[in-house]
């Protein structure tokens, strides 16, 4: 325990002892005894009240108002043991949906339900069931707001910096400090004083009781100054009133003028024009007061807007002098919905007017709409203050999928949707309910950075990937029960199309190639396969106009789960579906319905038959994001091996590929490489890779041979057989150092490929036959007796064969092995499970290829903050191999074990990291906020269904 002893108090004790007695003892001994007696008193008090202080685990399950969804820890304390009431901060109870648990000193844990959160001041109340406590009997800590005095020794008892119980000492230094300012867009308290003490608290101490030596709570810990040993405490006058009303089973009325006041000293009041006679009268009535309240801001659209102005000095309310926040709050809380008579002085002029008191609870949202993974609700008074706008409009607490794809940010205030004004949530829900699946609507909104300007975005409605539901707070249960909304029956989400034309270009090559290029946008509703970015754009090439097949790179369409849109001639947009994701290379195939583009004169790209060579003159042609065609004349500089670092998040990474390097190559757009004859000789593709913790991308050319081979397999519905080994190329001179024989050196030098190099195995795919038979460091010599020294040579040798004869050089000797190949399809995923806030699927090939891990268990792709997965550490990149001791070799077995489990029940999970380190964790389910549902890929597209 760290004690900060007050020098003033020690000095008073020492002086008093010397005055009362003869100096029989030296002053140092008297001081030591006094300090010892004081310490003993504190020890008795702290021992008595410690069992009433709890650590609180908080999961904010949804973003709401000023808060993001998150998991945190804090402190609270019992203020009514019989009713199970715990006092803590507002930002711990949170304004939105929350699940919380209290852990007492003896490590007993109870579920908490939110009972009250103040609309303005930083306090809130949880409730627990006292009958659930078996081994500890906490006492109610009394609230003693009148005990706050300057110089009073205090102790802050709480969960400081994650400790179960931490006790910090301090001395009250100020009783009239301004409320802490946590920044624009965040929760901020106002219209109250705060207490200040020299006692540095940190994360987890929010909600700690500030007690005197008798164990009475004189304040509530709320915040601290960064970089300074100062803590800020909330006075308890309004807290005590709210607690008493809750104990009586009554509502807690809270009134406001929708104006912020600032406590201002008399010297500044004189400069504002305060009349001397008024000052004299107020000073006479309140001789200890050194200032008065001045209007700092008035909310636009409020009843006070036409009466109050910044700089007004508040004199009286209802014929009563008002100089402090507490008396003002007392009047307003008792006058909700009624007028109060306000007397102010403005530049020496007296203004006397009536203002109707607004209901603070009425301008604080208590419901939200969950739509397209986004969260919206009526704009709150808290946020309206930051915008300096009326309390009207719909606030985007979390953009989620549909708002994020439209570019509407968190914190935006939506004014209109699809031409309909939306002053509140009711109007917004009505407008959304008229939109069909995939239907677009214009959103008009403003942002906190530019609240006076209106921005416009095009939102695409989603009913498929996510549930749409309206949720309302129920303080009786502490939950936010939800009502599902259904898509309009008269709008089945049928895609609309049209026709367009392509511009005429002066360059004949552009005129020929433009009808074969389309803009591609792809939006991912869920983070899977190690990919966290959600929105993509690139250029696609039409490979088969009759069937509507479009080829694109995997940095534009990384997985099959998502929404793809194609834009023709920069003017016509239609949907497409993913039909093939190349399992080995940076390629994917989309398909659209040709009927949707009407008479648009598209044509299949003409593919070149001759491979590109170093020195060939070519043109790179692609599309910008706005559909404008781009081109650059260049030359093939090199054809080299692609060498990308391993992915930290285990997302797709191309390998075993030779790419085309161009002189002065364009990196600002992707597209196609066109040869002199106007044929497409390659794709100019974007490759994504991770450089440390940063995502990077680079453009390289991909030979058209790979594209043609993929298209033939898509047409036949076949598979690609893979040896499941990653290679790198080394020079023959280096191979000689490996002991490679002269005979094989000669055969490799004179073989059909004659590249004067040899391939060495650098990595083997987990759970593959190759992993059992081949080894890293093997030099590949031949496949089925054909000398191989190129990546493409390996692929063509095994692509259609279920097993091959592989000859390698290992440990100074030639070795021939019969190796089964693995048949790979273009279907990357067929099921994705959402459970406990985690996104789960089968281990994907990128993980087992890069890390050599077994393709077993259930892969954790992502978790949502504020969910059980984030609370209990079910981290992405792990695989779940057991649930309650039962093996879960695949997703289906895991789903079977989930069904029928009760809400808030616990499960035991065995997980394995990418490097096969095992860990067992426990997880408590939350079926209310995080129900399990399954996404399944069908012939008609992806479908979502509840697991139960």
Catalytic residue list: 91, 122, 205
> What stretches of 570-653 show up as alpha helix (H) in DSSP?
none
Q: Which residues contact 458 (CB under 8 A, 6 or more apart)?
A: 406, 440, 441, 442, 443
Helix, strand, coil in percent for the chain, rounding step 5: 20, 40, 40
CA distance 555 to 737: 39
Q: Locate 496 and state its tokens.
A: 């609309």
CA distance 796 to 26: 97
Q: Locate 546 and state its tokens.
A: 């009759």
DSSP 857-908: SEEEEEE-TTSHHHHHT--TT-EEEEETTEE--SHHHHHHHHTTPPTT-EEE
Own/partner contacts of 222-225, CB < 8 Å, gap of 24 or more, are: 222/89, 222/122, 222/180, 222/189, 222/194, 223/122, 223/180, 223/182, 224/200
Give the HSE-up count for residue 429: Cα atoms under 13 Å, Cβ half-sphere: 18
CA distance 729 to 210: 68
From 806, 726, 809, select the one nearest 763 (Cα to Cα): 726
> Which residue's structure tokens are 């309302």?
472
CA distance 55 to 366: 26
**What is the C-alpha R_g of the chain?**
35
CA distance 355 to 342: 7
H helix and E strand count, the chain: 19, 58
Angle at 775 between CA 771 and CA 778, to 5 degrees: 140
Q: Is the alpha carbon torsion for 639, 645, 651, 656 positive or negative?
A: positive
User: Residue 104 forms beta bridges with which residues?
Assistant: none
- Whether residue 402 contacts residue 376, with contact meaning beta carbons closer than 8 Å, is answered with no
User: Residue 220 forms beta bridges with which residues?
Assistant: 209, 234
Locate the DSSP E strands across 405-504: 413-417, 420-421, 440-447, 450-460, 469-472, 482-484
- Whether residue 699 contacts residue 670, with contact meaning beta carbons closer than 8 Å, is answered with yes
φ/ψ of residue 921, rounded to 5: -125, 155
CA distance 646 to 851: 9
CA distance 290 to 264: 8
Strand, coil or helix: 233: strand
Residue 205's CB: how many other CB atoms inside 10 A?
A: 28
Total count of residues recorded for the chain:
948
Instruction: Give Cα 718 distance to the centre of its chain.
Output: 39
Strand-pair category, 779-783 with 671-674: unpaired
Three-class DSSP labels, 366-400: CEEEEECCEEEEECCHHHHHHHCCCCCCEEEEECH
Strand, coil or helix: 37: helix
CA distance 833 to 212: 52
């Amino acid at each position: 325990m760290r004690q900060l002893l007050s020098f003033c108090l020690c000095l008073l004790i020492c002086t008093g002892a010397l005055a009362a007695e003869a100096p029989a003892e030296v002053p140092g001994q008297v001081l030591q005894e006094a300090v010892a007696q004081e310490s003993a008193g504190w020890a008795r008090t702290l021992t008595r009240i410690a069992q009433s202080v709890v650590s609180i685990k908080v999961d904010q399950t949804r973003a709401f108002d000023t808060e993001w969804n998150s998991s945190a820890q804090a402190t609270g304390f019992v203020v009514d043991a019989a009713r199970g009431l715990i006092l803590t901060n507002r930002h711990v109870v949170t304004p939105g949906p929350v699940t919380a648990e209290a852990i007492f000193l003896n490590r007993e844990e109870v579920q908490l339900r939110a009972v009250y959160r103040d609309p303005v001041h930083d306090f809130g109340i949880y409730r627990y069931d006292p009958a659930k406590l078996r081994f500890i009997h906490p006492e109610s800590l009394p609230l003693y707001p009148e005990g706050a005095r300057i110089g009073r020794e205090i102790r802050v008892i709480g969960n400081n910096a994650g400790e179960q119980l931490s006790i910090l000492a301090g001395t009250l230094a100020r009783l009239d400090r301004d409320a802490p300012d946590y920044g624009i867009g965040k929760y901020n308290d106002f219209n109250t004083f705060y207490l200040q003490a020299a006692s540095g608290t940190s994360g987890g101490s929010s909600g700690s009781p500030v007690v005197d030596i008798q164990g009475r709570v004189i304040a509530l810990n709320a915040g601290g100054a960064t970089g300074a040993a100062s803590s800020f405490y909330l006075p308890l006058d309004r807290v005590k009133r709210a607690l008493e009303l809750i104990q009586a089973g009554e509502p807690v009325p809270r009134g406001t003028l929708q104006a912020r006041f600032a406590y201002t000293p008399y010297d500044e009041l004189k400069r504002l024009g305060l009349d001397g006679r008024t000052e004299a009268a107020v000073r006479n009535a309140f001789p200890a007061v050194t200032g008065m309240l001045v209007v700092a801001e008035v909310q636009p659209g409020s009843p006070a807007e036409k009466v109050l102005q910044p700089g007004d000095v508040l004199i009286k309310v209802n014929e009563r002098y008002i100089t402090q926040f507490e008396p003002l709050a007392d009047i307003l809380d008792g006058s909700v919905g009624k007028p109060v008579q306000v007397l102010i002085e403005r530049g020496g002029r007296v203004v006397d007017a009536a203002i109707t008191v607004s209901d603070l609870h009425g301008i604080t949202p208590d419901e939200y709409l969950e739509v397209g993974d986004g969260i919206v609700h009526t704009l709150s008074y808290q946020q309206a203050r930051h915008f300096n706008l009326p309390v009207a409009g719909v606030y985007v607490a979390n953009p989620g999928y549909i708002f994020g794809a439209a570019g509407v940010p968190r914190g935006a205030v939506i004014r209109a949707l699809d031409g309909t004004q939306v002053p509140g949530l009711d109007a917004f829900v009505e407008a959304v309910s008229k939109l069909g699946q995939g239907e677009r609507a214009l959103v008009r909104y403003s942002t906190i950075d530019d609240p006076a300007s209106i921005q416009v975005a095009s939102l695409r409605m989603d009913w498929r990937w996510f549930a749409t539901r309206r949720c309302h707070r129920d303080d009786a249960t502490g939950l936010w029960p939800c009502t599902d909304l259904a898509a309009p029956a008269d709008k089945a989400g049928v895609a609309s199309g049209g026709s367009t034309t392509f511009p005429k270009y002066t360059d004949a090559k552009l005129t020929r190639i433009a009808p074969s290029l389309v803009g591609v946008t792809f939006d991912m509703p869920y983070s899977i396969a190690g990919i966290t970015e959600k929105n993509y754009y690139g250029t696609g090439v039409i490979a088969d106009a009759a069937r509507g097949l479009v080829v694109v790179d995997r940095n534009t369409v990384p997985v099959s789960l998502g929404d793809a849109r194609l834009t023709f001639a920069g003017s016509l947009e239609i949907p497409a579906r993913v039909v093939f994701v190349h399992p080995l290379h940076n390629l994917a195939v989309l398909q659209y319905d040709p009927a949707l583009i009407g008479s648009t004169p598209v044509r299949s790209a003409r593919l070149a038959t001759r491979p590109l060579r170093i020195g060939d003159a070519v043109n790179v042609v692609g599309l910008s994001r706005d559909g404008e065609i781009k081109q650059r004349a260049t030359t093939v500089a090199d054809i080299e091996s692609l060498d990308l670092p391993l992915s930290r998040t285990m997302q797709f990474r191309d390998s075993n590929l030779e790419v085309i390097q161009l002189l002065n190559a364009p990196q600002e757009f992707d597209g196609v490489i066109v040869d002199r004859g106007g044929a497409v000789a390659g794709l100019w593709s974007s490759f994504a890779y991770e450089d440390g913790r940063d995502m990077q991308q680079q453009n390289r050319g991909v030979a058209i041979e790979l594209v043609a081979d993929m298209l033939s397999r898509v047409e036949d519905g076949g598979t690609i057989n893979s040896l499941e080994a990653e290679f790198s190329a080394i020079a023959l001179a280096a191979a000689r150092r490996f002991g490679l024989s002269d005979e094989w050196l000669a055969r490799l030098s004179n073989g059909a490929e004659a590249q004067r190099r040899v391939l060495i195995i650098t990595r083997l795919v987990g759970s593959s036959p190759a992993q059992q038979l081949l080894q890293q460091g093997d030099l590949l010599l031949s496949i089925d007796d054909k000398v191989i020294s190129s990546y493409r040579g390996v692929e063509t040798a095994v692509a259609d064969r279920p097993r091959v004869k592989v000859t390698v050089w290992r440990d100074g000797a030639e070795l021939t092995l019969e190796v089964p190949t693995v048949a790979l399809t273009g279907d990357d995923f067929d099921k994705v499970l959402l459970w406990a806030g985690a996104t789960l699927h089968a281990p994907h090939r990128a993980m087992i290829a890069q890390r050599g891990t077994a393709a077993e268990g259930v892969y954790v792709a992502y978790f949502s903050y504020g969910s059980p997965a984030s609370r209990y550490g079910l981290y992405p990149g792990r695989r779940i191999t057991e649930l309650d001791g039962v093996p879960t070799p695949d997703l289906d077995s895991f789903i079977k074990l989930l069904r029928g489990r009760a809400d808030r029940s616990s499960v035991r999970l065995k997980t394995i990291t990418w490097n096969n380190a095992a860990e067992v964790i426990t997880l408590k389910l939350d079926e209310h906020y995080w129900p399990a549902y399954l996404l399944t890929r069908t012939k008609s597209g992806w479908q979502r269904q509840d697991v139960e």
